[in-house]
């Protein structure tokens, strides 16, 4: 399982498979969709991730 950053979530929303796979190093199924447990919630997660300070 690969944690998705806000940038990766934005890329998922844009349905940019090549960039998403480059950002995460993961392979995504066809069609490109949010994982089942994240559908309907990833907008909230992306907003929270952007507000959290970056790890040093």
Q: Which domain covers residue 45, as residue numbers? A: 6-51
Q: pTM here?
A: 0.61
pLDDT of residue 49: 61
The verdict on residue 36 lying in a domain is: yes
Q: Give residue 32's pLDDT.
A: 85
Q: Say if 1 falls within a structural domain.
A: no
From the CA atom positions of the chain, what is the Rg in Å? 11
pLDDT bucket at 56, cuts 50 / 70 / 90: very low
Q: How would residue 21 be classed by pLDDT, with cut points 50, 70 and 90?
A: very high
* Whole-Å CA distances, 44 to 6, 39, 54, 56: 10, 11, 18, 24
Q: Is residue 56 part of a domain?
A: no
Domain tally for the chain?
A: 1
Whether 31 is covered by a domain: the verdict is yes
Calpha distance 3→20 (Å, rounded): 12
Contact yes or no for 10/30 (Cβ under 8 A):
no
Residue 29 falls inside a structural domain = yes
Residue 37 lies in a domain: yes
Residue 9 buriedness (CB in 10 A; 0-12 / 13-18 / 19+) = buried
């Amino acid at each position: 399982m690969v944690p998705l950053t806000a940038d990766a979530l934005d890329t998922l929303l844009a349905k940019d498979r090549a960039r998403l796979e480059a950002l995460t190093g993961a392979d995504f199924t066809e069609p490109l969709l949010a994982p089942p447990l994240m559908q309907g919630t990833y907008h909230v997660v992306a907003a929270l991730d952007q507000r959290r300070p970056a790890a040093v």
